[in-house]
A and B are shown apart, each in its own frame.
Chain A
């Protein structure tokens, strides 16, 4: 029998941190989005031609959203599980009548929800700078939910793996951020020389951004079905990794 109460209290407890720092939670994405629009959209963007019929200011909206969603999903979820491990309060989760998967739903669900809220705020802010029309709202939402969940899951894995704060920072900083910047968030892959186009195909973020961008403007670097397939592959990899960790009690139980 599933312990729904436990899932609920873990979820709400994680969300409390978000509401407690509501000002930061809202102000920082609003400010950073505005800054990106001023720098890329207006200053630099004015000298860049439209890409496949989409103005540069509009073109960067999905990439910008993905940049924040990916980094925040990873950092929120990793911090969420790392902190109880670090302070020792994890003892309560381990001794409670819940399975690891129930705890996972609570933690990852909360991190993914925060990212969804963040994405909404960013898109809302972007709407002040450009006229945003979403061609395929359903697919936009589907891509967003899948990305939030899979990267929160990835963050959860990092939080379990990390033994100290340095390790916790290293993955978002050295892996996620470069992948997002090099994954066509701010440019179309077709603008790159052929060799780098091929290299970029190995970057999983490319598929997220491309699919997400397609749901807005019907413009994409790779086909939508490939995008969707790649996100699902990433999700399955994360789920398998997590289930292996839970099975072995990796860094959780001795």
Chain B
């Protein structure tokens, strides 16, 4: 797959000396959804803002479809749509006029039919004459998306699109993002929510302290690092595990009541059944049990912890 955004040695140091980005190298493939994960202040927004032209990089270069973001800024910016993190909208503008404004700003000829379809797709059309201040938070978020898509961009940046929105709207947002992907748009989104990256992203990048710690296909990452844990709670505490269970490499808690078995999620199903049977055979009585799946969240927390 060919890359549409290419970032080389990108660094940003603010006037106060804060290093927001440290030597970032990244290629984003055409037509993919890339999720950038990272804690607050990791540099996600700085990275996005730099590519979009809002922040000037200190070092390094970014090209969009082969064009430099500084030298050929008109070409690169015409290809990009940006949905900012904050609900930044003029209070008295109307939905219809604000999307028209965005389209004009990005040098596109007026096209009522396209904008009408766009608003309909985002369930905004019946609000087209409403003043922006009268809209709910979720609707405002949709308006921001409509503005970003008003000029038919090839690349869409979504800065925390689902921060502070309810579950239903989040799922809706995911649907919209997938639909965009189907039309060939490359999508880069930042998020705190690991489940979001897991649910919709083809690729995951982890940023912390301005460094890109990892970039990998979501599935590869999950396969590589995905483990499951079976936690068994015993009725009576024990001081030592039966020797015969050594092959499972079990872990006994200090209280002597919890046994943890870590296994590979791909192939470990059978061993669980065997282990449970053995436990019964050795006269241990199980009171409760649960299975925990290691998620992207654990992977993420581990990576960030190491980096800190």
A89-B97 CB under 8 A given contacts A5-B107, A249-B56 = no
Is B229 part of the contact surface with A, judged by Cβ < 8 Å?
Answer: no
The bracket for how many chain A residues form the interface is 20 to 34
B46 to chain A, nearest CB (A): 9
Is B185 part of the contact surface with A, judged by Cβ < 8 Å?
Answer: no
Q: Using CB atoms, name the residue of chain B closest to A87.
A: B88
Is B165 part of the contact surface with A, judged by Cβ < 8 Å?
Answer: no
Interface contact A254-B104, CB-CB below 8 Å:
no
A-side contacts of B90, CB under 8 Å: 83-84, 87, 89
**When the two chains form the complex, which single residue of B82, B91, B105 contacts A9, counting CB atoms closer than 8 Å?**
B105
B-side contacts of A1, CB under 8 Å: 74
B89 to chain A, nearest CB (A): 7
A241 to chain B, nearest CB (A): 20
Interface flags for B28-72 (1: CB within 8 Å of A; 0: not) read 000000000000000000000000111110000000000000000
A-side contacts of B75, CB under 8 Å: 97
- Give the complex CA separation of A41 and B243 in angstroms: 109
Interface flags for A153-184 (1: CB within 8 Å of B; 0: not) read 00000000000000000000000000000000
Q: Using CB atoms, name the residue of chain B closest to A8.
A: B104
**When the two chains form the complex, which single residue of B74, B86, B106, B107 contacts A88, counting CB atoms closer than 8 Å?**
B86
Is A27 part of the contact surface with B, judged by Cβ < 8 Å?
Answer: no
Is A231 part of the contact surface with B, judged by Cβ < 8 Å?
Answer: no
A95-B74 CB under 8 A given contacts A8-B104, A87-B90 = no
Q: Using CB atoms, name the residue of chain B closest to A83.
A: B90
Is B262 part of the contact surface with A, judged by Cβ < 8 Å?
Answer: no
Is A10 part of the contact surface with B, judged by Cβ < 8 Å?
Answer: yes
B-side contacts of A9, CB under 8 Å: 100-101, 104-105
Is A54 part of the contact surface with B, judged by Cβ < 8 Å?
Answer: no
Interface contact A6-B54, CB-CB below 8 Å:
no
Is A223 part of the contact surface with B, judged by Cβ < 8 Å?
Answer: no
Give B77-116 interface residues, CB cut-off 8 Å to A: 77-78, 80, 82, 84, 86, 88-93, 97, 100-102, 104-109
**When the two chains form the complex, which single residue of B52, B100, B101, B104 contacts A95, counting CB atoms closer than 8 Å?**
B52
The 7 closest A-B pairs by CB, nearest first: A9-B104, A88-B88, A97-B77, A97-B74, A95-B52, A96-B105, A94-B54
Name 28 A/B residue pairs within 8 A (Cβ), A-sorted: A5-B108, A5-B109, A6-B105, A8-B104, A9-B104, A9-B105, A16-B97, A84-B90, A87-B88, A87-B89, A87-B91, A89-B89, A89-B90, A91-B82, A91-B88, A94-B53, A94-B54, A95-B77, A95-B80, A95-B82, A96-B77, A97-B75, A97-B107, A253-B54, A253-B55, A254-B14, A254-B55, A254-B56
* Chain A residues in the interface with B (C-beta under 8 A): 1, 3, 5-6, 8-10, 13, 16-17, 20, 83-84, 87-89, 91-98, 249, 253-254
